[in-house]
A and B are shown apart, each in its own frame.
Chain A
């Protein structure tokens, strides 16, 4: 018998090895290093090298009212954005799943926002939202409707940002759910029709339950991204006015690159990581229980 070479004997390790090294270096290492930094007092403005200081950074950050407010805003932004995107996304997917005149044009137009660069989207929406010379208030004024301050007021900044997020990311949910709908079997729908079910009943009791795992997959993906939303908030408000649109990721950025408090910013990022991880886990459990 010819003896197999080392490579041939260890194929099952060698083939995935590049991917494993990639994941280890670029994903696991930064997470562990951030965790390590969260237990230090590293602050570039002191000019001193970093030193271990136990949970002091945690105590300082977690006791800051600003931190808890950022957590609240992160949830507020994510919950409403993902909720609206899910409903709208599924509704549009259901419409696009039928045949109608101009369907391919409609599909193209509806999916365009997804390909735009988030920073560019933010900058353009800022122009729309300017209270004095922006398009939004101009249109409202011409229709005789009250004008708004949009992102310039603490009261309306989060809804204004949610609107931008919904505009850009609803197509993502639509795409995924549309693919799910296309893969559904026709038989249960036909059987229900034969049994005399109305279109609404078919939708509610047959179609939606069958496509629910796909909907939840889309929601998980969108949820993870929405919790970490950075680009549109940074481009449009930088967390302002004041701190009114400061979410955890924005706060982490500020602490790292404006305040240079690396130890404390690592605490914020560890908190964000845990939140994203736990939320994803929750929805994945929900998804598992929804499989028929």
Chain B
């Protein structure tokens, strides 16, 4: 009798708690370790208060986020509702596997070239959050001291690097770490008149692209910091902050950190931002939606998920982001006078240029992009190690291009 009472009580308690849980609307959100992810995380209590929807949030480093999402979605056991995503790195693969929910909001406030990677077969799946574009960071004080003008093309860039390069300060830094460097090399390739992919086929073995890779290797091999083939932005930034680099070509997102007085030794008006220099054929640096937000197709709380998505990507949140030095994707916040008064004019000018003339891709846009980046990365490392003079570069480029074409065929994207 006692046993029956105990069991009955347990069963009733279980039922009560399950129904209680079912009534509390809760969604699971996965964010990236990124300034915007941090901003959303800190604003979540406000969302919970105004909507009554509880949010369970997790945040991860970008590579680990992709791995976690892929593992959960592939096993069809995911409880993820909303997540941050990189349209260029995983957009195609996630769309192909049917992991994004189609969205039906207005996207009028986003530049067309940035939206192009969020749309598949006429439907939009990703809301762009932040954009970044290639810029040239430079040390105004070193330039003044050496009497050097801000370079506007590659010839001037090389001359400036040569003049500013010394034992203690590298003339020019850019990523050299294989796959990580592919995004920075892209603007060099575009400005030489080349592309990574052209209508679904590998195009980086072309003469313009190989010339760009040679130039990149020549510059970094001669004027780059020591050990540059192991450096991505997280290795170059501390060097720049320590005053060891005169010029650095990378994405616009790092500006806030390189002038943060608590982290840098080159604060106080010493750092300038300029347009990425023009090449022999073009002037088209990349401008990409590096991060976006999407709703999971497997979500069981789509209505609440959509509400969260709309809130997190709203103009109000975008304005908040801009005021925190995060370069947001929405166009209207870049036209808001109150916001512009606080943002660095160099960022505003370079963005305006890139939004009009820039290339919306910074890597081969394909599902197997991880592997393709490693292959192109091999060419970059070969070029840097030989200061751009490698006799094998053309042959290597053809081999890698053939492999990329094979990958495009394997994933059904060849020629598309």
Contacts and interface: CB of A to CB of B under 8 A. Distances in A.
Interface stretch (B41-49, B226-234, B308-316, B357-365): B226-234
Q: How large is the interface on B (under 10, 10 to 19, 20 to 34, 35 or more residues)?
A: 35 or more
Nearest to A133: B242
Contact of A152 (B230, B367, B368, B407): B230
A149 B410 contact: no
B280 interface: no
Contacts of A44: 70, 74, 93, 97
Contacts of B212: none
Interface of B: 63, 66-67, 70, 74, 93, 96-98, 177-178, 225-231, 235, 238-239, 242, 244, 366-368, 370-371, 374, 377-378, 381, 407, 410-412
Interface of A: 43-47, 130-133, 149-153, 237, 240-242, 254, 257-261
A153 B227 contact: yes
Contact of A46 (B98, B226, B239, B411): B411
Nearest to A237: B230
The dominant DSSP class at the A interface is loop
A237 B229 CA distance: 11
Contact of B225 (A132, A240, A241): A132
A128 B397 CA distance: 35
Given A47-B367, A240-B230, A242-B381, A130 B67 contact: no
Nearest to B66: A257
Given A240-B177, A242-B381, A257-B70, A152 B227 contact: yes
17 contacts: A43-B410, A45-B366, A45-B407, A47-B93, A47-B97, A131-B225, A132-B239, A132-B242, A133-B239, A150-B227, A152-B226, A153-B227, A153-B230, A241-B178, A242-B381, A259-B374, A260-B93
A259 B239 contact: no
Contacts, number: 89
Contact of A241 (B63, B230, B368, B407): B230
Nearest to B366: A45
| Chain B interface main SS type | helix
A209 to B, nearest CB: 45
Nearest to A259: B371
A47 B238 CA distance: 40
B411 A45 contact: yes
A150 B226 CA distance: 11
B314 to A, nearest CB: 32
A241 B229 contact: yes
A284 to B, nearest CB: 35
Nearest to A41: B410
A277 to B, nearest CB: 26
A240 B412 contact: no
